[in-house]
Amino acid sequence: MNVTKFSKIAIACASASVGAILAMSGHAVAASKPLTFAMITHAQPGDTFWDIIRKGANAAAAKDNVKLIYLADPTADKEAQLIDNVVQQHVDGIALTLAFPQAMEKNVKEAEAAGIPIVGFNAGGDDWKKAGLLMYVGQDETIAGKAVGDKLNAEGAKSVLCVDQQQGAVQLEERCNGIKATFKGKYQILYTTGYDMPTVKSRVQAKLQQDPSIDYVVTLGAPFAPSVLGAISAAGGKAKLGTFDLTPEAVNLIKAGKLQWAIDQQPYVEGYEAVDLLWLNKTNGDVVGGGGPLLTGPAFVTKANVAEVAKFAKAGTR
């Protein structure tokens, strides 16, 4: 990761400290009533990644003394409708994942026209400015994908299968496109439907049996890693596995040498900063980032450094 990326991450992490200083010094403008923020995501049921985001968001809400409404739907139309729902509730701010920019554009514009500040996080890194969002915190998924492609090249991979669990979600497409941009070998995408793990396992197993040349599999979410490991074993292959995102189970698999690496985008920080940035804007007029995204990743967690994050993963914050 270069100096510019580290600087952006430092800005993101520093905003929490800025918020704390403002509150302690009494310089924050007191709201006439308790603030209510809505967090809207495209989370799919069963994806523990979002538990970490919510833990960060709840911590920031408690620190800032705001009420937090959390809503989620993995489909484009329904996530867009959730924006209308919270606008009708006259919330003071919205933090959202811009996973389906075109489907959500009209609803976002209506919320902005109602005077509600919106901060993007996690998804929509290439679209948040065009949508008029105030700030964005998260991982640049294209950069992350390119980093994975480079790593696959360095490890000598020749044929890679990328498992995409939610076709049409822009952040997953950006990951795939990033890998394709830098990986020099054969590259394929396998689409699965949601978090039906037995189906995921059977589809990946069938693909590996159909194409035994595949020597590396990349999952776009850590909860899929155990099922895909089962598929690799059942297919009788020797393909290696890497994944985006980090969970306690992924940490254990890395320790055991079964999972080669995981990309950590620090979801706790994403959830925390999304709420805290809204609070800073509402209480002090702050817009953080200088017109750019606040990057929380990517960073590779491997067997060489997994011990450094293991205790935090066990606590549910990494």
Q: Is pLDDT of 22 > 60?
A: no
Residue 29 has what pLDDT? Answer: 43
pLDDT at position 169 is 83
170 — pLDDT class (breaks 50, 70, 90): confident
At 45 the pLDDT is 85
* Close Cβ partners of 103 (under 8 Å, ≥ 6 residues apart): 76, 77, 79, 80
Share of the chain above pLDDT 90, in %: 80
Per-residue pLDDT, 32: 58
Alpha-carbon torsion (253, 259, 261, 267), positive or negative: negative
What predicted TM-score, i.e. pTM, was given to this entire model? Answer: 0.81
Q: How confident is the model at residue 47 (pLDDT cuts 50, 70, 90)?
A: confident
Statement: residue 4 has pLDDT above 60: no
Position 26 pLDDT exceeds 80: no
Instruction: Give per-residue pLDDT as tens, 118-146.
Output: 999 999 988 999 999 999 999 999 999 99
CA angle 163, 231, 223 (to 5 degrees): 55
What value does the mean pLDDT of the chain take? 90
The whole-number pLDDT of residue 78 equals 97
Instruction: CATH 3.40.50.2300 in the chain: give the residue spans.
Output: 3-139+266-287, 141-264
What is the reported pLDDT for 307? 94
Residues with Cβ within 8 Å of 33's Cβ and at least 6 positions away in sequence, in order, are none
Mean pLDDT confidence for 265-287: 97
Element (H, E) at 159: strand 159-164
User: Do 31 and 310 touch, CB atoms closer than 8 A?
Assistant: no
Q: For residue range 198-211, what is the model confidence (pLDDT) as tens digits?
A: 999 999 999 999 99
Tell me if the domain spanning 3-139+266-287 has CATH number 3.40.50.300: no
First and final CA of the chain: distance in angstroms? 19
User: Residue 44 pLDDT more than 90?
Assistant: no
The radius of gyration computed from the CA coordinates of the chain, to the nearest angstrom, equals 20
The CATH fold of domain 141-264: Rossmann fold (3.40.50)
What confidence score (pLDDT) does residue 23 get? 47
Checking if the pLDDT of 75 tops 90, the result is yes
Greater confidence, 231 or 20? 231
| Block residue for tokens 């994403």 | 270
